[in-house]
Amino acid sequence: MTGYKLIAILLAMIIGLTGCVSREDDEKSNSSQETLSSDAKDSSSDNEDIDAATGESDIPVDNDKEDESKPQEEDSDNEIEEELPPPNLEEISKLPPDAIPWGPGVRKDKDGRSEACVMLQEKYGKYDAQFIAPKEKKIYLTFDEGYENGNSATILDILKEKNVQAVFFVTLEYVKANPELIQRMIDEGHIVGNHSAGHPNYTKISLEKAIEATMNLHNYMLDNYNYKMTLFRYPEGTFTEQTAALLQALGYKQVFWSFAYADWDPKSQIEDSVAYEKVKGATHDGAIYLLHAVSSTNSNILGKLIDAWRAEGYEISKYDVDYKINKVPDVPTDISE
């Protein structure tokens, strides 16, 4: 019995030792798997950081980690808009309120550029007002759209064929009535500019009404097209120093023109050949052309004009005029001067 007891004890000890070794191996294996899993997760996180920046990741991005590891981009132009301080109407109202008479006139300098526009540019350029572009071999086409007369699609067709980008200054009423044309303008790379809601004379309304007329269209384009307008053209081209400062404070460049002609009445159109010679004859460096889209004459001569300008070495440029105005000009506090 003593021998059997001794053998039983020895067997129990051997079994116990084997179990300990097995548990240690299992613990080591589990530990190793946890380490590999942790490494894989870290590696995945590193790849997410890299791929999220390139936009090429097939791995779902941890949004919380992304928020901590990289700066946030603005989601929309609405957020940018909110960062603009409201116009200081008290200070702006100290500027002269009188309408500023202006027009390109007939007097030209030695380069064929409007002397009036050059002078106006020097005087009011501080408000981001643009009457004529810098003296370069560039021509800028801008079209005013108060209402649709059946020519805009043809104009867009010609611009697309010639690979030209233009500016279309539209009213709120035009935008609401012609959503397909507005979307096409945007899709084909043109700039859609602000021509106000209601087309009021800005020299005859209050600053508060001017803000309303401007921002009603601005916000409609943001809400319905996710499109932020940055260029403004005054209805009738009328402005004051107050409105110039106001529009600048609202974030707008104000685009005037260095050439226009009587093309706005569909019932009183001049012959195509006469119109062509008039428009072509006014060619000058840095020209900002104002053409009305209601004119069938303009759509008839547009392609020929573009070809002729290019043959003379001009670039029909997308609107990129920038006089590098970096801040709102100082507003005088002593209005007795």
Three-state SS for 129? Answer: strand
Q: At what angle do helices 179-187 and 207-225 cross, to 10 degrees?
A: 70
- What are residue 142's phi and psi, to 5 degrees? -130, 140
> Which residues 6+ apart lie within 8 Å of 219 measured at CB?
none
- What are residue 315's phi and psi, to 5 degrees? -95, 125
Burial class (CB in 10 A: 0-12, 13-18, 19+), 23: exposed
DSSP-derived secondary structure letter, 127: G
Whole-angstrom Cα distance, residue 119 to residue 138? 20
Which among 171, 167, 162, 219 has a CA at the least distance from the CA of 189?
A: 167
Written as six digits, the tokens of 233 are: 């053209």
Active site residues: 144, 292
- Cβ(303)–Cβ(158) below 8 Å: yes
- Cβ(284)–Cβ(258) below 8 Å: yes
Written as six digits, the tokens of 291 are: 């053409």
